[in-house]
Amino acid sequence: MPVTGPIDCDVHPTVPNLAALHPYLDDLWRETVVRRGLDELNTISYPSRSPLTVRADWRDDAGKAATSAATLAEQALAPFGTSHAILNCLYGAQSLFSEDLGAAFARAINDWIAREWLDRDPRLRASIIVPMQNVELAVDEVNRVAPDHRFVQVMLLAGAELPLGKRQWWPLYAAAERHGLPVGIHAGSTYRHPVTPVGWPSYYTEDYVNQAPAIQTQLTSMVAEGVFARHPNLTVVLMESGVTWLPAYLWRLTKFWKGLRSEIPWVADPPASIVRDRVRLTLQPFDGPPDAAAVMSVMEHIGSDDILLFSTDYPHWQFDGLDAIPAGLDPGLARKIMAENPLRTYPRLQQTAHTMSPAQTGEETAA
Amino acid sequence: MNVDVLNRSGMQPAAASKVGIADCDVHPRPTGAGIGGVSKSLYPYLSKRWQEHVEAYGVLYRQPWEKGSAYVKGQPQACRRDAWPPGGMPGSDLAFMQAQHLDPNNVVLGILNPLTSGQGAQNPELSAAITHATNEWQVAEWTSRDTRLRASVVVPYEDAVASVKEIELRAGDPNFAQVLLLSRTAEPLGQRRYWPIYEAAAAAGLPVGVHAFGYGGWPITGSGWASYYLEEMVGHAQAQQALLISMIFEGVFERLPSLKVVMIEAGLAWGASLAWRMDRQWAKLRAETPHLKLKPSEYLRRNVWFTTQPIEEPEPREHLAEAIEWLGWDRVLFATDYPHWDYDDPAQALPIQMTEAQRRAVFLENARAVYRVG
């Protein structure tokens, strides 16, 4: 299918309730969930009723949105003329303390996404949810799901047990690289640690605002540990965590790389050039200046037309009406952000629809 | 890659600087070795009870090592190789500091920020004793001997009652220019347990400086312990963003409109982006924090200042001027971080186009206004 419209790199399908995943759980885990009374896995990253979690005009009678492919198509695809949208499911499988239960829910979510969403609308693509509790199990899940080329990325959360650059994670990056899948790091946390380096905040607003600094520390970890040198074909996408912090962050990181690079001799290139080559950021929530005239100055500081990817962050409330593209953005840059940059970032988006499913790609599933 | 090569031909050697400057981050430390992490030069100000305590148990922090800091520094004591006075530790010898830094750089106002003062020690009474001794020592050994220098009231900030007592003891004493906290606290600094410190500081007319580092026991990332000193150093910017987010959304500046907070040694170019992000999220979520009467950015631009070192170095350099423009030239206080390794030389640290008024504001007048020093 030729791509003609925007590619939305961050939309969120809502798991209507835990029972919706029952058919996708193995017998043991389904029985576990029922017998032990496991409640919904909505995390404190996105409280169900918060004004940010679901934009008011997108809410249904139950206060939810994006509970079906049809609703999502009507609210998030049609109005923007979107060609493709990438589903990032934020149901909290990663936060369960049991590694086995985490893996069971990751499998259930991915299979639910394939059946209930990808099968029902050919414009939809998705990120693979992995059990962040255990890298070995995460690799298994990537290998199991990756043959379905409608899955275009591996998704992690900004807050894990260990910084994402550490070598415990590297087998996961090797698997992603092998399958041609970027690794997307999305705002949110498993809450093994407080979101901030100074302890737990009081307000939800703080948690959400702190997602940007939190994702910055993950980028520092990945650069410093040498993830990009070790995995030359890996792309990392930072999702739903702002974009205008990038220049000042890189100035500081590069300065300390100059001063302390003897500590990390494997990082041979300046961090700013590593990030410009290998890291991408989704657009919403856009955190630009209120003065539209200053927006392009910030874009100059970012210093690359290739780095931003269009996203609406549907159904989260980041803008009103159809104003997904921030005022003040140069139209030429906006066009690149909408389609060209996403197509370059996600190789699987360039494949045509009829080669998408495992049967056609000829890859064997690990399942 | 394009690289800006700094043309130094038109620059004055630092020693020839005619205009006096304020250095808002100078680190003195007690001279001589001690037992248990407290120098014996603090003993005249420390009771026998606490002298015996440190000799038996030392000073323990929320980190692994009995001595030294959590991450291995880039070089010994994180100091300039040339800043070691004969036989002593960097920053321990006033005459050496005068000759190497204060005189040649024409520092007319130097704010002392002692970093080995027992702040963040696990034992709260010990923390109170060492911070008190450090304040006595700053006056006896530094500010009374060089009138260009002003001390910071170091307080055992995890214990607000003891901190208030120390601030009240120093209120009205012209030797002290600010109350000093470290950034890595046990809880975000906007939380209620710290409010008495801000009330006492505001009542005493003292700004609250928050310097990078500390011992809160939390990793520098939101995702566990980083591997490298570099990550900690870069991460101070994120830690200071987090504590500012806390102070603003908790309403510290709404309750204390006259409170001045100075963010020390964690950069400043991130300030504008943080302000934009806070405003945009607050616009949607403001019902959660109805105690805020202004936009978050308005508190930031009214109540918060930033020291320059380690100044960000974009390519091209002019981007830094724009970043400061977005933050406000009146928010910026020059600092060198003497005698640390990443010291910023006043003759070379800000190679950007500034008007004469902007230059004077950054290098001197802003500091005079914040610290109320003539």
Q: What is the ipTM of this complex?
A: 0.95
Q: Which of B62, B223, B228, B249 to probe the A interface (max A CBs under 10 A)?
A: B223
- Average pLDDT over every residue of B354-364: 97
In a domain? residue B7: no
Contact between B237 and A210 using a beta-carbon 8 Å cutoff: no
Look at residue B224 and tell me if it is in a domain. yes
List CB contacts (< 8 A) between A132 and chain B: none
HSE (CB half, 13 Å, CA atoms) of B92? Answer: 18
CB contact under 8 A, A161 and B235: no
- Strand-strand pairing, B261-264 and B332-333: unpaired
Q: Which range marks the domain in which residue A307 is found? A: 11-352
Instruction: Work out the minimum CA distance from A28 to partner chain B, whole angstroms.
Output: 31
pLDDT the model gives residue A146: 98
Is a pLDDT exceeding 70 seen at residue B93? yes
Is A235 in a helix, a strand, or coil?
Answer: coil
Which chain A residue has its CA at the smallest distance from B319's CA?
A301
Provide the CATH number for the domain around residue A59: 3.20.20.140
Q: What is the pLDDT of residue A357?
A: 57
Q: How does DSSP classify residue B176? A: E
Residues 6 or more apart whose CB falls under 8 angstroms from that of B333 comprise B22, B24, B262, B305, B306, B307, B308, B362, B366, B367, B370
Total domains in the fold of chain A: 1
* Average pLDDT for B285-293: 98
Distance CA B239, CA B244 (A): 9
Asked whether residue A2 is domain-assigned, the answer is no
Instruction: Quote the pLDDT of residue B20.
Output: 95
- Cα angle A323, A326, A329; round to 5: 135
In chain A, helix, strand, coil percent, each to 5?
A: 45, 10, 45
pLDDT digits (tens, 9 = 90+) for A17-35: 999 999 999 999 999 999 9
Give the chain B residue nearest A165 (alpha carbons): B226
The average pLDDT across A334-354 equals 90
Considering the entire predicted model, what is its pTM?
0.95
Say yes or no to pLDDT of B2 above 80.
no
Q: What is the per-residue pLDDT for A366?
A: 43
DSSP character string of A326-347: PTT--HHHHHIIIIIHHHHH-G
Q: Report yes or no on A123 lying in a domain.
A: yes
CB of A265 less than 8 A from some CB of B: no
Would you state the pLDDT for residue A352?
66
CB B322 within 8 A of CB B334: no
Q: CB-based contact (8 Å) between A226 and chain B?
A: no
Q: Does A326 touch chain B (CB under 8 A)?
A: no
Q: What is residue B33's predicted lDDT score, i.e. its pLDDT?
A: 73
Q: B109 forms bridges with which residues in the sheet?
A: B22
**One-character DSSP codes across A40-75:** ----TTS-TT-TTTS-GGG--TTS----SHHHHIII
Span B106-113, average pLDDT: 98
Question: What is residue B17's predicted lDDT score, i.e. its pLDDT?
Answer: 53
Q: What is the pLDDT of residue A137?
A: 98
What CATH number is attached to the domain comprising B283? 3.20.20.140
Select the residue from B3, B73, B234, B279 to test the A interface by mutation, using most A Cβ atoms within 10 A: B234
Q: Is residue B63 part of a domain?
A: yes
A342: in domain: yes
- Lowest average pLDDT, out of B65-79, B89-103, B208-222, B325-339, goes to B65-79
Alpha carbon distances (Å) from B328 to A69, A251, A347, B332, B337: 47, 19, 43, 7, 22
Q: How far is B147 from chain A (nearest CA, A)?
A: 34
Smallest Cβ–Cβ distance between B224 and the set A162, A205, A225 belongs to A162
Q: What is the pLDDT of residues A142-171, one digit of tens each?
A: 999 999 999 999 999 999 999 999 999 999
- Measured CA to CA, the distance from residue A8 to residue A342 in angstroms comes to 8
Mean pLDDT over each residue of chain A, to the nearest integer:
95
Angle at alpha carbon of residue A305, lines to A304 and A309, rounded to 5°? 115
Residue B153 has phi, psi (to 5 degrees) of -75, 100
pLDDT in tens, A273-308: 999 999 999 999 999 999 999 999 999 999 999 999
In a domain, B257, yes or no: yes
Return the pLDDT at B14. Answer: 45
Taking each helix axis from N to C end, the angle separating A211-225 and A271-278, rounded to the nearest 10 degrees, works out to 110
CB within 8 Å of chain B, chain A residues 266-305: 270, 273, 285-290, 294, 297, 300-301
**Burial (CB count within 10 angstroms: exposed 0-12, middle 13-18, buried 19+), residue B63:** middle
Residue window 195-214, chain A: list those with CB within 8 Å of chain B. Answer: 195-206, 208-210, 212-214
Bridge-based pairing state of the strands A84-87 and A124-129 = parallel
Contacts of A103 (CB under 8 A, 6+ apart): A131, A133, A134, A137, A140, A141
Query: Are B309 and B265 contacting, i.e. CB atoms less than 8 angstroms apart?
Result: yes
- Given a cut of 80, whether residue A354 has pLDDT beyond it is no
Model confidence over A225-247: pLDDT tens digits? 999 999 999 999 999 999 999 99
Strand residue runs (E) in A176-330? 183-189, 236-239, 279-282, 308-309
Can you say whether residue A313 is alpha, beta or left, with left for phi > 0 and alpha for psi between -120 and 50 degrees? left
Range of the domain at B359: 16-371
Average pLDDT, chain B: 94
Residue B329 clears pLDDT 90, i.e. is over it:
yes
CB A59 within 8 A of CB A67: no
Asked whether the predicted pLDDT for residue A213 surpasses 80, the reply is yes
Q: Closest partner residue to A199 among B186, B226, B250, by Cβ?
A: B186
Least confident of A119-133, A252-266, A342-356: A342-356
Residue B3: band (very low, low, confident or very high) from pLDDT cuts 50, 70, 90: very low
pLDDT the model gives residue B123: 97
Taking the CA atoms of B198, B201, B207 and B209 in sequence, report the sign of the dihedral they define. negative
Mean pLDDT of A52-74: 96
Is residue A363 scored above 80 in pLDDT?
no
Residue A120 lies in a domain: yes
CB contact under 8 Å between A202 and B191, yes or no, is yes
Q: Is the pLDDT of residue B212 over 60?
A: yes
Among B275, B182, B301, B178, residue whose Cα is nearest residue A198: B182
Q: Give the pLDDT confidence of A215-227 residue by residue, as tens digits.
A: 999 999 999 999 9
Interchain CB distance below 8 Å, B270 and A220: no
Report if residue B2 sits inside a domain: no
CA distance B227 to chain A (A): 8
- pLDDT, residue A356, reads 57
Burial grade of B23 (CB within 10 A; 0-12, 13-18, 19 or more): buried
Q: How many helices (H) and strands (E) does chain A have?
A: 14, 8
C-alpha B221/C-alpha A197 separation (Å) is 6
Structural domain total, chain B: 1
Residue A180 lies in a domain: yes
**Structure token digits, residue B316:** 């091209």
Q: Quick one: residue A40, left, alpha or beta (phi over 0 = left, psi -120 to 50 = alpha)? A: beta
Instruction: Please report whether residue B10 resides in a domain.
Output: no
Average pLDDT rounded to a whole number, residues A2-18 = 90
Whether residue A217 contacts residue A253, with contact meaning beta carbons closer than 8 Å, is answered with: no
Render pLDDT for B247-275 as a digit per residue (tens, 0 to 9): 999 999 999 999 999 999 999 999 999 99
Structure tokens belonging to residue B327: 């933050």
A173 in B contact zone (CB under 8 Å): no
- Give the per-residue pLDDT at A351: 86
